């Protein structure tokens, strides 16, 4: 996809952690890092949409991805500006249609099981019925290469813990990696990155450290990504959604181990 348009955007990413002192089991002081956590309220044309708890490292991408994944907008050209102001803990989204009413959409939301309680709007469950991700095969050796590449990431988790990480991958190459206090924030930031840069999900792989819940599968399906894997487990509804949309769902992916829950016919087992 070729597209040159991008909305006017601030660049207000925050540092991911803050120094602190803790006392260990020997009663000795230790210098540690704590993950930053800030409230960020999204306003669209001065209408309050939601307040997210986030590390704030990619607030503009998070905002775009949240609005895209929740079904508020489909065309990036509808967004004129995204401006983050941490003094007011708010992000102002200005659209080209400044009199839109989102009250109906706001009334159709369901609280999900994500850390920090993500929300999926009710109409998206209906929309998923018409979504089928592109067919895509993947080699077992590619999965292993990708998992090996991911060892260089998870920077925040290694220093401070308390976060989830998500990655957009092309084969064993990591295209974009995001960590945040909730996995839904990290996936929304990647969705925003893809939307802003007109990146297709076809032939991409999505990795998350968090559970494979219905919310995760719905969002990845909307992004058109055919393969979703995690080092964690899955929920039954997550599996049901993957079967419905055609997502190849892989859990417990770590080292040389993984479990294919859906789409085993899309895996080339070439590294047995």
Question: In which residue are the tokens 């508020």 written?
Answer: 72
Asked if residue 211 and residue 95 are part of one domain, the reply reads no
Q: Which domain holds residue 240?
A: 138-268
- d(C-alpha 217, C-alpha 87), whole Å: 34
Low-confidence ranges of the chain (pLDDT < 50): 1-2, 111, 113, 115-117, 160
CATH code for the domain in which residue 43 is found: 3.10.20.10
Asked if residue 258 and residue 194 are part of one domain, the reply reads yes
- Determine the pLDDT at residue 148: 92
Residue 178 burial (CB < 10 Å; 0-12/13-18/19+)?
buried
Asked if residue 104 and residue 199 are part of one domain, the reply reads no
Asked if residue 264 and residue 142 are part of one domain, the reply reads yes
Asked if residue 191 and residue 95 are part of one domain, the reply reads no
Provide the domain count of the chain: 2
- Determine the pLDDT at residue 20: 79
Residue 132 lies in a domain: no
Residue 262 lies in a domain: yes
CA 267 to chain centre: 24
Q: What is the pTM of this model?
A: 0.83
Residue 3 lies in a domain: no
- Round the average pLDDT of the chain to a whole number and report it: 85
- Determine the pLDDT at residue 268: 93
- d(C-alpha 205, C-alpha 109), whole Å: 28
Tell me the per-residue pLDDT of 39-72, one tens digit each, with 9 for 90 and over.
Answer: 899 999 999 998 888 889 999 999 999 999 888 8
Tell me the per-residue pLDDT of 108-144, one tens digit each, with 9 for 90 and over.
Answer: 555 454 544 455 555 566 677 789 999 999 999 999 9
Q: Could you tell me if 163 and 181 are in contact, meaning their C-beta atoms sit under 8 angstroms apart?
A: yes
CATH code for the domain in which residue 258 is found: 3.40.140.10
How many other C-beta atoms lie within 10 A of the C-beta of residue 118? 26
How many other C-beta atoms lie within 10 A of the C-beta of residue 1? 6
């Amino acid at each position: 996809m070729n597209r040159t348009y991008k909305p006017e955007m601030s660049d207000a990413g925050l540092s991911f952690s803050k120094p602190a002192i803790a006392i260990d089991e020997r009663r000795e002081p230790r210098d540690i890092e704590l993950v930053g956590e800030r409230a960020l309220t999204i306003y669209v044309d001065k209408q309050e949409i939601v307040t997210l708890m986030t590390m704030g490292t990619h607030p503009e991408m998070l905002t775009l991805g949240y609005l895209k994944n929740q079904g508020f907008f489909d065309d990036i050209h509808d967004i004129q500006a995204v401006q983050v102001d941490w003094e007011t803990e708010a992000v102002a989204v200005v659209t080209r249609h400044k009199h839109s009413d989102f009250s109906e959409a706001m009334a159709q939301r369901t609280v999900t099981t994500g850390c920090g309680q993500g929300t999926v709007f009710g109409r998206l469950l209906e929309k998923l019925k018409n979504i089928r991700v592109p067919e895509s095969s993947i080699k077992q050796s590619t999965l292993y290469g990708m998992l090996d590449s991911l060892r260089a990431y998870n920077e925040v988790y290694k220093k401070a813990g308390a976060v989830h990480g998500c990655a957009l991958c092309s084969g064993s190459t990591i295209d974009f990696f995001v960590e945040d206090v909730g996995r839904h924030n990290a996936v929304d930031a990647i969705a925003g990155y893809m939307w802003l840069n007109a990146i297709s999900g076809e032939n991409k792989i999505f990795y998350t450290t968090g559970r494979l819940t219905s919310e995760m599968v719905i969002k990845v399906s909307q992004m058109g990504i055919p393969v979703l894997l995690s080092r964690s487990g899955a929920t039954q509804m997550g599996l049901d959604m993957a079967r419905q949309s055609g997502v190849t769902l892989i859990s417990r992916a770590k080292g040389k181990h993984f479990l294919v829950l859906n789409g085993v016919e899309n895996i080339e087992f070439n590294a047995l």
